[in-house]
Amino acid sequence: MKRQIALLGLMGRGGALSKIHELIRELPVSRVMTTALLTLPPDATMMQLKELLREHHISGVPVVGGGRLVGVVSIEDLIHALEVQRLDAPIREFMTSEGLVTAHAQEPVMEALRRFEQMGIGRMPVLDARQKLVGIITRGDITLALLRALQELYTEAETIQDRPQHFFDALESENTSLQLRYRIEKGDFALGGDASGKIKRALLRIGASPQLARRVAIATYEAEMNLIIHSDDGGLVLADIQPTTITVVAQDSGPGIADVELAKQPGYSTATPEVREMGFGAGMGLTNIERCTDKMSIWSAVGVGTRLQMTFLVSPEESGEGDEETGQGA
Amino acid sequence: MTLDEILQATEAQMLVEPPYNIDLESACASDLMSDVLIFTKPNMLLITGLTNPQAIRTADMAEAPAVIFVRGKYPPPETLELAEEMGIGVLMSAYTMFETAGLLYQAGLKGIGKLPIMRQQR
């Protein structure tokens, strides 16, 4: 369960599952194969094969003659030679040379795995685009490579999972919180959303669930855009992150809202056509903020300024895998 | 639906390739970013005619892994740079928003469904 939660933390873009998917589909044989290649010429004896297999603890080798792959000889062939007492015979008499199954350096391991399955074989010589022998691949190589990659994913997930504990538990105080502050400039549309994005990434980094991070980011983004669009000379976004509550405050020093209740109505807007062209100013900002927060309060006075406080409770579900928001409350 | 399928269905161009393979579950089409944020679902394609960087910011907040710009409006460089930085895929189709959405719907991409009725102030 914990693992799963931690893995969900990786679901940012792409996610753990698609990473595994991608890995299997895209990892090329060349990244998995053994390249320190042992080969034998076709006129080496089965006795030489026996020595080579024993010395290197391997179960088969490609046979190379005239610079080309001509066959594969394995421990089964050696047993066959032993049965007929012909250890002095050349390898070419016992090796598999016809219908040789090979892998290509650039094909995905998934394809190679499929061929292992279909042919019931243990190893395949790997050829490059010019049909030159460049390595050998076994089922074990593929398993190991995938396990190693999975291990990396889990380590990454565990690092993320361990962060909030390390982060908050390591600090002793009556009331620990992390504060982030951003100055928002009036009319700076190009940077609009920068602070919200940074708060979102900070939350994810210290272990918040993606759902919670998204809720906070969306509400903060709307508030940030309000400062850019409506304030006289910009404002501040302050995020206070505690283990159970996140509070984000957006404040400015004017012009102030004359009728806060009216401003909260869906569709009510004083934005200019230019702002609407930017995709904002549809009068949905506060509605959207209210939907994303657990508590929203606005204090405003004309000529003094506006203070919007948004509170988000870190619910138990949200430290795990709570339901996605579907906009039902809109 | 993969980006390849989307490219094919809408005869689009890939302007910024996302860092991961993505498989989108649904889409929403709007030029109003607040509307997008209201009915956001993760793993959604954003279809929009709004080519400024706010489209990418919105996609980032809404966890939409890709954005498709419609009616052949080539986005300004700052939009593409931001998408690159945030790892959000950017596509562009020469079809209008209506037709782009229609083609994707026809190809099997789902929408968000009905939303509650909301009375608006004048």
Q: Are B33 and A192 a contacting pair at CB < 8 A?
A: no
Model ipTM?
0.85
Tell me which chain B residues have a C-beta less than 8 angstroms from the C-beta of A330.
Answer: 38-39, 115-116, 118
Greater model confidence, A283 or A45: A45
Distance of alpha carbon B76 from alpha carbon B90, whole angstroms: 12
Tens-digit pLDDT profile for residues A191-238: 899 999 999 999 888 878 888 899 999 999 999 999 999 999 999 999
Looking at the domain assignment, is residue B96 inside a domain?
Answer: yes
Looking at the 3D structure of chain B, how many domains does it have?
Answer: 1
Q: Let me know whether A176 and A303 are in one domain.
A: yes
pLDDT surpasses 50 at B97: yes
B75 touches chain A (CB under 8 A): no
Domain residues for the domain of A64 are 2-143
The shortest CB-CB distance from A218 to any of B40, B54, B78 is to: B40
pLDDT surpasses 60 at A319: no
Burial class (CB in 10 A: 0-12, 13-18, 19+), A80: middle
Looking at the domain assignment, is residue A289 inside a domain?
Answer: yes
Distance of alpha carbon A103 from alpha carbon A88, whole angstroms: 31
CATH number at residue B63: 3.40.1390.20
Residue where a domain stops, chosen among A143, A160, A180: A143
Q: Are B52 and A189 a contacting pair at CB < 8 A?
A: yes
Q: Are B34 and A189 a contacting pair at CB < 8 A?
A: no
Looking at the domain assignment, is residue B121 inside a domain?
Answer: no
Tell me which chain A residues have a C-beta less than 8 angstroms from the C-beta of B58.
Answer: 193, 221, 279
% helix / strand / coil in chain A, to the nearest 5?
45, 20, 35
Interface of A with B in 16-75 (CB under 8 A): 18-19, 21-22, 25
A174 — pLDDT class (breaks 50, 70, 90)? confident
Region B50-55: what's the mean pLDDT? 93
A305 — pLDDT class (breaks 50, 70, 90)? very high
Q: Which of B21, B47, B57 is the best mutation test for A, with the most CBs of A within 10 A?
A: B57
- The whole-number pLDDT of residue A217 equals 94
Looking at the 3D structure of chain A, how many domains does it have?
Answer: 2
Q: Let me know whether A94 and A213 are in one domain.
A: no
Looking at the domain assignment, is residue A182 inside a domain?
Answer: yes
Helix/strand/coil for A72? strand
CATH number at residue A11: 3.10.580.10
Q: Let me know whether A228 and A184 are in one domain.
A: yes
Dump strand ranges (E) for chain A.
Answer: 60-65, 68-74, 103-104, 123-127, 133-138, 178-184, 235-241, 245-252, 295-301, 305-313
Q: Let me know whether A98 and A190 are in one domain.
A: no
A324 — pLDDT class (breaks 50, 70, 90)? very low
pLDDT surpasses 80 at A320: no
Q: Let me know whether A96 and A185 are in one domain.
A: no
The mean-pLDDT minimum among A29-43, A212-226, B7-21 falls in: A29-43
Q: What are phi and psi of A29, to 5 degrees?
A: -50, -35
Looking at the domain assignment, is residue A159 inside a domain?
Answer: no
Looking at the domain assignment, is residue B34 inside a domain?
Answer: yes
Looking at the domain assignment, is residue A163 inside a domain?
Answer: no
Q: Which residues pair with A198 in a beta bridge?
A: none
Looking at the domain assignment, is residue B35 inside a domain?
Answer: yes
Q: Let me know whether A309 and A263 are in one domain.
A: yes
Looking at the domain assignment, is residue A18 inside a domain?
Answer: yes
A113 — pLDDT class (breaks 50, 70, 90)? confident
Tell me which chain A residues have a C-beta less than 8 angstroms from the C-beta of B53.
Answer: 189-190, 192
- The whole-number pLDDT of residue A281 equals 83
CATH number at residue A178: 3.30.565.10
- The whole-number pLDDT of residue A14 equals 46
The shortest CB-CB distance from A330 to any of B48, B57, B116 is to: B116
Looking at the domain assignment, is residue A162 inside a domain?
Answer: no
Q: Let me know whether A58 and A10 are in one domain.
A: yes
Region B64-85: what's the mean pLDDT? 95
Q: Are B116 and A221 a contacting pair at CB < 8 A?
A: no
B40 touches chain A (CB under 8 A): yes
Whether this model's pTM surpasses 0.80? no
pLDDT surpasses 70 at A13: no
Domain residues for the domain of B89 are 3-106
Looking at the domain assignment, is residue B44 inside a domain?
Answer: yes
Q: Let me know whether A204 and A102 are in one domain.
A: no
A167 — pLDDT class (breaks 50, 70, 90)? low
pLDDT surpasses 90 at A81: yes
Region A3-18: what's the mean pLDDT? 45
B9 — pLDDT class (breaks 50, 70, 90)? very high
Looking at the domain assignment, is residue B102 inside a domain?
Answer: yes
pLDDT surpasses 50 at A6: no
Region A298-327: what's the mean pLDDT? 74
DSSP label of A233: S
Distance of alpha carbon A126 from alpha carbon A62, whole angstroms: 10
Residue where a domain stops, chosen among A143, A163, A191: A143
Looking at the domain assignment, is residue B113 inside a domain?
Answer: no
Looking at the domain assignment, is residue A206 inside a domain?
Answer: yes
Instruction: Compute the nearest-CA separation of B44 from chain A (Å).
Output: 11
CB-CB contact of A270 with A264 (8 Å): no
Tell me which chain B residues have a C-beta less than 8 angstroms from the C-beta of A189.
Answer: 52-54
A27 — pLDDT class (breaks 50, 70, 90)? confident
Q: What would the two tokens of residue A302 be?
A: 């004309």
Instruction: Compute the nearest-CA separation of A144 from chain B (Å).
Output: 23
Tens-digit pLDDT profile for residues A46-66: 999 999 999 988 888 999 988
> C-alpha angle A101/A107/A111, rounded to 5°?
65
Q: Let me know whether A187 and A293 are in one domain.
A: yes
Helix/strand/coil for B102? helix
Looking at the domain assignment, is residue A328 inside a domain?
Answer: no
Q: How far is CA A64 from CA A37, A122, A134, A212, B72, in A?
A: 11, 19, 11, 60, 57
What is the residue type of A220? T
Q: Are B34 and A19 a contacting pair at CB < 8 A?
A: no
Percent of chain A with pLDDT over 90: 38
A323 touches chain B (CB under 8 A): no
